[in-house]
A = this chain, B = another copy of it.
Amino acid sequence: MGAFSSIILLVYVAATLLSISEGSEHIHSLIRQPVAGTVSAESDPAAFSCLSWRFGVETKNIRDLPTVPKVCQHYVADYMLGDQFLQDSKVVTEEAFKYAKTVKLAGDGKDIWILDVDDSLITHVDFYAQNGFGTEIFDVTALINYLAQGISPALPESLKLYRRLLRLGFKIVLLTGRMEPSRNLTESNLKNVGYHSWEKLILRETGEWNDTTQRAHKSAERRKLVESGYRIIGNMGDQWCDLLGDYPGHRTFKLPNPVFYTE
């Protein structure tokens, strides 16, 4: 965890020092650590299967290493820019919709569906494409500058599911690890790409960002929702920390993400 902790510290310090010109919003809260690599990628790259590595990441087997294996850069690029990433997302959102249709809503406005924001509703793939697809430690300043523009596009399948959930009558709760100073920027990005309405947009107060605080934040906010009388019918995100912990919801849906891992 040594290198891993150093990266978190670096991100935190660098992000704290920087501010965004647009509304002076701090968005260090948006930065997440890159996903794990494996030893065997370096020791025997020719025999290494990047597809297997991705399976290992998505199923919570591989953790705690700082970057995507270098040997998998082209694989991840092909995956994210090609059709497979969309297909993988579609399987998840179609399954979510199939489930959502079976739920009989109480009609009291308390049936909610929780959605994560970063790499769930909107994607930062353009930034990843310009920065080695997670094979190098991300340049913090570059990432902050990218996110400050608020130009991340919608994930098409997520937008489709969002619209379908609204039509079915679900209340949408957006639960993100972004911090309060990023609220306006976040709302603006979401609205510009098609996400127009929600019951709540829940951000974090400022503070240190790591797996533990992120997961605690999500669990605590879900608990508050349940204690306020909401029923969490569904919950979708790209990270296991969105979907594990307290009150995860009746069904959870894990979107693919080969570039980042938090739990």
Over the window 250-262 of chain A, the binary record of Cβ atoms lying under 8 Å from chain B Cβ atoms (1 yes, 0 no) is: 0011101000000
Which of B53, B91, B254, B256 interacts with A91 by CB under 8 Å? Answer: B53
Count this chain's copies in the assembly.
2
Q: Are A87 and B51 in contact (CB under 8 A)?
A: yes
A54 (CB) vs chain B CBs: closest residue = B55
For chain A, the count of residues having a C-beta within 8 Å of the partner chain is 29
Which of B49, B56, B94, B96 interacts with A92 by CB under 8 Å? Answer: B56
Given A38-B95, A49-B84, A95-B38, answer yes or no on A60-B90 (Cβ-Cβ < 8 Å): no
A56 (CB) vs chain B CBs: closest residue = B91
Q: A51 to chain B: which residues have CB within 8 Å?
A: 84, 87-88
Q: Are A94 and B59 in contact (CB under 8 A)?
A: no
A41 (CB) vs chain B CBs: closest residue = B91
Q: Which of A36-68 contact B (CB under 8 A)?
A: 38-40, 49, 51-53, 55-56, 58-62
Which of B40, B60, B95 interacts with A56 by CB under 8 Å? Answer: B95
Q: Are A94 and B49 in contact (CB under 8 A)?
A: no
Over the window 77-104 of chain A, the binary record of Cβ atoms lying under 8 Å from chain B Cβ atoms (1 yes, 0 no) is: 0000001100110111011101000000
Q: A55 to chain B: which residues have CB within 8 Å?
A: 55, 58, 88, 91, 256
Q: Which of A180-212 contact B (CB under 8 A)?
A: none
Cα separation A195 to B10 with both chains bound (whole Å): 47
Cα separation A92 to B61 with both chains bound (whole Å): 6
> How far does the Cβ of A51 sit from chain B's closest Cβ, in whole Å?
7
- List 11 A–B pairs whose Cβ atoms lie within 8 Å, in order of A's numbering: A38-B91, A38-B95, A40-B94, A52-B88, A56-B88, A56-B95, A59-B59, A59-B256, A61-B92, A61-B96, A62-B91
